[in-house]
């Protein structure tokens, strides 16, 4: 069957389509229903089904002939380490850790926060939770203590699993002081912290609360997989919303396993036994789905890479990993390729490596600019596939379905709707816009399996954020258009989320931090175009009357404050003191026009503006960057 037929069937016969897809998963009890619409618009998949995600990722492969196949390769140029784990070894490690967690009283439905760098133990911790039915919540290492504390208070973990440090090029990031700081700020306290001591930094332990990973696991009795309901949560992953309070995206067990397994063969064109590498971080959804769960559920070898595309040690790092481990498919963000292109525009480093195994490059996380796409195509000589999705969906929403039928590539477009997703572009009134016209990109309900059923303990916020704007549709919060061939283009967000080096950040959350500074009267943060990171945040602040210190000093403090409160990942390096912010007569800050000025786009003086002269002041504060007035 070609793409069109597969797609049509997914929408007209979702029960048959996903019922067939569910055959690739081992069920303890098969589901009694495929699509459960009894509580629409809150849909569930595979109600009544019982399974264990860790069994599907590890044990069934050990029993089914893959025991000695490498399940996970840990490749860490920053520590000069390569370690491999067969499926049997990984299963045994995970079972022992699961036993250790169970020994600490962690059971089905309990939450475990995982705050770890890119080491195999992070994946083991996720799988160990899945094994005993506990719900993990991984927090990205680049977030600061306060962000970690917010997540601890929302998820209320019984145990937190962490490590003494992460390694960023040129510096050791000590995790334990951040963890201790977060627990101090948080209202909720975990019973225990399990800490892996890495040789690069020793963590100071709190007596009674903190436990050494190695000692704990050495004495543990391995735990078996427990039966878990298909609709029970597997994990919570917090992602930026429009305020400082992140959204706890919930993922269930059954739909997740089915959708990920289906995506591996049909979208990525990957077979069991293939080597699959998602160069991301376990702290992001890409890491959850395509470093840990999908490749293992599908019986592949997954690569867990602790390094960067450049500087560890050079822009040939990705090519070295591909050739050394025989990688067939790589998935990363366009920003990584922009970094490689910047440091090695001629692709010279490619000459040293044999990339014979390499078949396809997938890019996602931000819009892929056609220049980067063409550069990658020419340098690598393989198909380069932009695809589009988000934390909420958990797997691709638009993609060139390489395993069904490779379609022509249109640069700038992540291709067509993935089977299961009925994607439309709507105008403000909820009517479909004309072909090629920009609208709000929505998905007609129900969403397919694997997508978020709700937000953690926040059904109402889920409805309000995603289902209320256009009844009957899920709001992606992206804007874009659909062309005459049904190719989708994603152009921007309709909220205040920006995308910095493939990382999703809320400018609203940064504004909340700036507003806390005692000298700040009001502020605005906008995302400004950046050659490497796609976008970077820039803050504008108006000081309170009588602020008696130099603006530059306050600007430095504000940069430090965002780093301290949100974390280095915010990449907030520029705060500018201005006399006034441009506003409409009703007092709304004109962030859109400010962004156009900063990006040097042609802009018009908005009719509703209070005082147009302020726009010139903003241009001057930006040092005349771009700035052709329309």
Q: Are 389 and 402 in contact (CB under 8 A)?
A: no
307 lies in the site for ligand COA, by CB under 6 A: no
Please list the helix, strand and coil fractions of the chain in percent, rounded to the nearest 5, in that order: 35, 25, 40
**Restricting to residues 384-403, which ones interact with ligand AMP according to CB under 6 A?**
386-388, 390-391
Q: Report what 478 binds from ligand AMP, ligand COA, none; CB cut-off 5-8 Å by kind.
A: ligand AMP
Piece in contact with ligand COA (CB under 6 A), picked from 206-214, 334-342, 377-385, 591-599:
334-342
- DSSP secondary structure string for all residues of 480-544: EEE-TT--EEEEEESSSEEEETTEEEEHHHHHHHHHHSTTEEEEEEEEEEETTTEEEEEEEEEEP
Q: Are 630 and 600 in contact (CB under 8 A)?
A: no
Integer CA distances (angstroms), 564 to 76, 197, 461, 523, 569, in order: 27, 24, 28, 18, 11
How many residues does the structure list for the chain? 630
284 lies in the site for ligand COA, by CB under 6 A: yes
Residue 361 belongs to what H/E stretch? strand 360-363
Q: Report what 403 binds from ligand COA, ligand AMP, none; CB cut-off 5-8 Å by kind.
A: none
Q: Which of 422, 426, 447, 455 has the alpha carbon at shortest distance from 438?
A: 426
- Interface with ligand AMP (CB under 6 A), residue total 19
511 lies in the site for ligand AMP, by CB under 6 A: no
Whole-angstrom distance, CA of residue 472 vs CA of residue 445 = 6
**Restricting to residues 261-320, which ones interact with ligand AMP according to CB under 6 A?**
285
Each residue 133-162 as x (binds ligand COA by CB under 6 A) or -, in order, gives --------xx--------------------
Q: Which of 509, 593, 480, 456 has the alpha carbon at shortest distance from 144?
A: 509
Dihedral sign for Cα atoms in the order 143, 146, 150, 151 = positive
Whole-angstrom distance, CA of residue 605 vs CA of residue 493 = 22
Q: Are 447 and 393 in contact (CB under 8 A)?
A: yes
Q: Report what 176 binds from ligand AMP, ligand COA, none; CB cut-off 5-8 Å by kind.
A: none
**Restricting to residues 470-509, which ones interact with ligand COA according to CB under 6 A?**
501-503
Q: Are 43 and 449 in contact (CB under 8 A)?
A: no
Which of 339, 380, 455, 514 binds ligand COA (CB under 6 A)? It is 339
Each residue 436-475 as x (binds ligand AMP by CB under 6 A) or -, in order, gives ----------------------------------------
CB of 393 to ligand AMP, least distance (A): 8
Q: Are 450 and 255 in contact (CB under 8 A)?
A: yes
365 lies in the site for ligand AMP, by CB under 6 A: yes
Piece in contact with ligand COA (CB under 6 A), picked from 165-173, 238-246, 415-423, 538-546:
165-173
288 lies in the site for ligand COA, by CB under 6 A: no
Which of 121, 281, 478, 496 binds ligand AMP (CB under 6 A)? It is 478
Q: Are 538 and 576 in contact (CB under 8 A)?
A: yes
145-155 and 551-565 helices cross at what angle (nearest 10)? 40
Tell me the longest C-alpha to C-alpha distance in the chain: 74
Q: Report what 280 binds from ligand AMP, ligand COA, none; CB cut-off 5-8 Å by kind.
A: ligand COA
Piece in contact with ligand COA (CB under 6 A), picked from 76-84, 166-174, 447-455, 581-589:
166-174
Q: Are 330 and 318 in contact (CB under 8 A)?
A: yes
Q: Which of 268, 510, 273 has the alpha carbon at shortest distance from 396?
A: 268
Question: Any residues with CB less than 8 A from the CB of 612 and at least 6 apart, and which?
Answer: 605
308 lies in the site for ligand COA, by CB under 6 A: yes
125 lies in the site for ligand COA, by CB under 6 A: no
414 lies in the site for ligand AMP, by CB under 6 A: yes
Piece in contact with ligand COA (CB under 6 A), picked from 11-19, 188-196, 306-314, 441-449:
306-314
Residue number with CB closer to ligand AMP (490 or 581): 490
366 lies in the site for ligand AMP, by CB under 6 A: yes
Q: Report what 571 binds from ligand COA, ligand AMP, none; CB cut-off 5-8 Å by kind.
A: ligand COA
| Site of interaction with ligand COA (CB under 6 A) | 141-142, 166, 168, 173, 280-281, 284, 286, 308-310, 332-333, 335-336, 339, 365, 501-503, 568-569, 571
Binding site for ligand AMP (CB under 6 A): 239, 285, 364-368, 386-388, 390-391, 414, 476, 478, 490, 493, 499, 504
């Amino acid at each position: 069957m070609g793409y069109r037929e597969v797609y049509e069937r997914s929408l007209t016969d979702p029960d048959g389509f996903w019922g067939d897809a569910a055959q690739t998963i081992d069920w303890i009890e098969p589901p009694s229903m495929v699509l459960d619409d009894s509580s629409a618009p809150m849909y569930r998949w595979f109600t009544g089904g019982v399974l264990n995600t860790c069994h599907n990722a590890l044990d069934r492969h050990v029993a089914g002939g893959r025991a000695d196949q490498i399940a996970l390769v840990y490749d860490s140029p920053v520590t000069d380490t390569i370690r491999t784990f067969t499926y049997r070894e990984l299963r045994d490690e995970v079972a022992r850790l699961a036993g250790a967690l169970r020994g600490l009283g962690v059971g089905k439905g309990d939450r475990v926060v995982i705050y770890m760098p890119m080491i195999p133990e992070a994946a083991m911790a996720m799988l160990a939770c899945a094994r005993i039915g506990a719900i993990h919540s991984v927090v990205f290492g680049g977030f600061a203590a306060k962000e970690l504390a917010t997540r601890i208070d929302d998820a209320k973990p019984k145990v937190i699993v962490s490590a003494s440090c992460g390694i960023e090029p040129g510096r050791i990031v000590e995790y334990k002081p951040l963890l201790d700081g977060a627990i101090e700020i948080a209202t909720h306290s975990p019973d225990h912290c399990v800490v892996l001591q890495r040789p690069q930094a020793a963590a100071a332990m709190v007596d009674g609360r903190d436990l050494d990973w190695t000692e704990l696991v050495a004495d543990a009795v391995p735990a078996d997989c427990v039966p878990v309901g298909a609709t029970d949560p597997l994990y919570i992953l917090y992602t930026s919303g429009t305020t400082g309070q992140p959204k706890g995206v919930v993922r269930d067990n059954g739909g997740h396993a089915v959708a990920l397994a289906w995506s591996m063969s049909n979208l990525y064109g990957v077979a069991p036994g293939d080597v699959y590498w998602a160069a991301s971080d376990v702290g992001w959804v890409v890491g959850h789905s395509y470093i840990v769960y999908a490749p293992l559920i599908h019986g592949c070898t997954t690569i867990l890479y602790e390094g960067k595309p450049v500087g560890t040690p050079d822009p040939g790092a990705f090519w070295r990993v591909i050739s050394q481990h025989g990688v067939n498919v790589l998935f990363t963000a366009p920003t990584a390729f922009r970094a490689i292109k910047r440091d090695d525009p001629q692709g010279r480093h490619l000459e040293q490596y044999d990339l014979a195994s390499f078949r396809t490059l997938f890019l996602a996380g931000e819009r892929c600019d056609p220049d980067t796409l063409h550069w990658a195509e020419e340098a690598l000589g393989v198909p380069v596939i932009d695809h589009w999705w988000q934390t909420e969906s958990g797997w691709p929403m638009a993609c060139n379905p390489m395993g069904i039928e490779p379609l022509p590539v249109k640069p700038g477009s992540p291709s067509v709707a993935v089977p299961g997703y009925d994607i439309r572009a709507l105008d403000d009134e909820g009517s479909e816009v004309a072909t090629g016209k920009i609208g709000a990109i929505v998905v007609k309900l129900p969403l397919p399996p694997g997508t978020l059923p709700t937000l953690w303990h926040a059904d109402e916020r889920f409805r309000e954020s995603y289902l209320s704007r256009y009844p009957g549709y899920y709001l992606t919060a992206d804007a874009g258009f659909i062309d005459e061939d049904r190719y989708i283009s994603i152009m921007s967000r309709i909220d205040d989320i920006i995308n910095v080096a493939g990382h999703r950040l809320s400018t609203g959350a940064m504004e909340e931090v700036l507003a806390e500074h005692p000298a700040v009267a009001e502020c605005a943060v906008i995302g400004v175009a950046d050659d490497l990171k796609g976008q970077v945040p820039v803050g504008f602040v108006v000081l309170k009357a009588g602020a008696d210190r130099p603006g530059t000093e306050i600007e430095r403090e504000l940069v430090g404050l965002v780093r301290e409160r949100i974390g280095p990942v915010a990449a907030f390096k520029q705060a500018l003191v201005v006399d006034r912010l441009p506003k409409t007569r009703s007092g709304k800050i004109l962030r859109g026009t400010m962004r156009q000025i900063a990006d040097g786009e042609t802009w018009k003086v908005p009719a509703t503006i209070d005082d147009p002269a302020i726009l010139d002041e903003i241009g001057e504060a930006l040092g005349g960057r771009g700035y052709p007035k329309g």
